Amino acid sequence: MKKDTARLKDLLGLEYLSRAQIEELLDQAKPMKQLFTRSVKKAPALRGKTVALVFFEPSTRTRTSFELAAKRLSADTLNIAASTSSVQKGESLIDTAKTLDAMKVDYIVLRHSASGAPHLVAREVKARVINAGDGSHEHPTQGLLDAFTIIEKKGKIDGLKVAILGDVAHSRVARSNLWVLTKLGAHVTVCAPETLIPPGLKEIFGSHVTITSHVDEAVKDADVINVLRLQVERQKENLMPSIREYAELFGLNLSRLALAKRDCIVLHPGPMNRGVEITSEVADSHQSVVLDQVTNGIAIRMSVLYWLTGHPLLDGGATAEQTLTQSEKLS
């Protein structure tokens, strides 16, 4: 059967990508990482392109790593935040996006509190749109960097037992993880208080997913545990016990981690609530790969920016120098 590796105009969610497209994006991140871990961290692959970073919700990791990714590929960047833009004067998201399009930006990287906002923008603009997190829908580059980190540490995803712990109902990270991990062959156990498990997961993911509210059951023999941020702002909705009780019943601590495989790795997308969903002992342990995720986020975002150009893929087996030369020829 022919593999679906067609390039898309936009990256809106991992739900819409084939396994082959995901594998291309992950493979392409390897030479990107090689490139930016040398002393001269730049390649000219996106020289002359402009990347607009439109963040209408707070972000540390995603915004800065997209900016670094764009700059390391020699693109120009613009930063637009709701608090300092004409959104404050009532301008709509679509009008803001069309304004950027009229300025001939090549990419709009959008974070927005409304699920589906990047999809609406993508229909209205020529620029390539990348979803940097939309409401509780998807955060595709987070899903890709999590998968890349797992492959880097475990050598594969196929056949792994992955536990996702926490506020799954409100988590775009959980959704993008579920799509990428199940497409790449992992078995995912989702664990949260019953009120924080969204309906319909079984219908969508079938036998690839197990759902439980018992953390010990979820982490037993796990190869990977991905801990989600407890969205404490949801506390007022009475969807969970108190934060103290949540930490006791659902937080990942060393004794729970000991139930997993000895070489189990722990991921967290950040920002972490230490002492709530994860203890500092776990967050700072040798099994934690949280800072590897941050580093890999730049490589994945370089890969996504480059992939959307439609240029031939860089050679994953090439050295950083060969990659640089190849991307120079393409620019």
For residue 65, the minimal CB distance to ligand CP (Å) is: 8
CA distance 193 to 247: 12
The only residue of 163, 269, 283, 301 in contact with ligand CP, by rule CB under 6 A: 269
Select from 31-39, 53-61, 250-258, 303-311 the region that touches ligand CP (CB under 6 A).
Answer: 53-61
For residue 62, the minimal CB distance to ligand CP (Å) is: 3
Per DSSP, helices labelled H in 74-166 are 93-102, 117-124, 140-154
- Verify whether residue 229 is a known catalytic residue: no
Q: Phi-psi region for residue 130, left (φ > 0), alpha (ψ -120 to 50) or beta?
A: beta
Q: Exactly one of 30, 49, 72, 111 is catalytic; which is it?
A: 111
CA distance 285 to 265: 10
CB 111 within 8 A of CB 12: no
Burial class of 223 by CB neighbour count within 10 A (0 to 12, 13 to 18, 19+): buried
* Binding of residue 316 to ligand CP (CB under 6 A): no
Nearest CB to ligand CP, comparing residues 161 and 170: 170
Touching ligand CP, residues 56-75 (CB under 6 A):
59-62
- Verify whether residue 208 is a known catalytic residue: no
* Binding of residue 295 to ligand CP (CB under 6 A): no
Rounded to whole angstroms, what are the CA distances from 224 to 7, 33, 176? 30, 22, 16
Smallest CA-to-CA distance from 69 within 150, 168, 141, 158 is with: 141
Nearest CB to ligand CP, comparing residues 10 and 67: 67
Provide the mask over 10-49, with x wherever binding to ligand CP is found by CB under 6 A and - wherever it is not.
Answer: ----------------------------------------
Nearest CB to ligand CP, comparing residues 139 and 187: 139
For residue 132, the minimal CB distance to ligand CP (Å) is: 7
Q: What is the CA radius of gyration of the chain?
A: 20
- Verify whether residue 50 is a known catalytic residue: no
- Verify whether residue 62 is a known catalytic residue: yes
CA terminus-to-terminus distance, the chain: 33
The only residue of 198, 270, 275, 316 in contact with ligand CP, by rule CB under 6 A: 270
Nearest CB to ligand CP, comparing residues 193 and 269: 269
Nearest CB to ligand CP, comparing residues 112 and 139: 139
For residue 119, the minimal CB distance to ligand CP (Å) is: 19
Q: Exactly one of 30, 112, 139, 229 is catalytic; which is it?
A: 139
The only residue of 77, 131, 136, 142 in contact with ligand CP, by rule CB under 6 A: 142
Reported as half-sphere exposure (CB side, CA atoms, 13 A), residue 197 has a value of: 18
The neighbour count for residue 237, using CB atoms within 10 Å, is: 11
Give Cβ neighbours of residue 9 (< 8 Å, ≥ 6 apart).
122, 128, 129, 308
CB 280 within 8 A of CB 247: no
Total residues interacting with ligand CP, rule: CB under 6 A: 10
- Verify whether residue 139 is a known catalytic residue: yes
Residue numbers annotated as active site? 61-62, 89, 111, 139
Given the rule CB under 6 A, which residues bind ligand CP?
A: 59-62, 133, 139, 142, 269-271
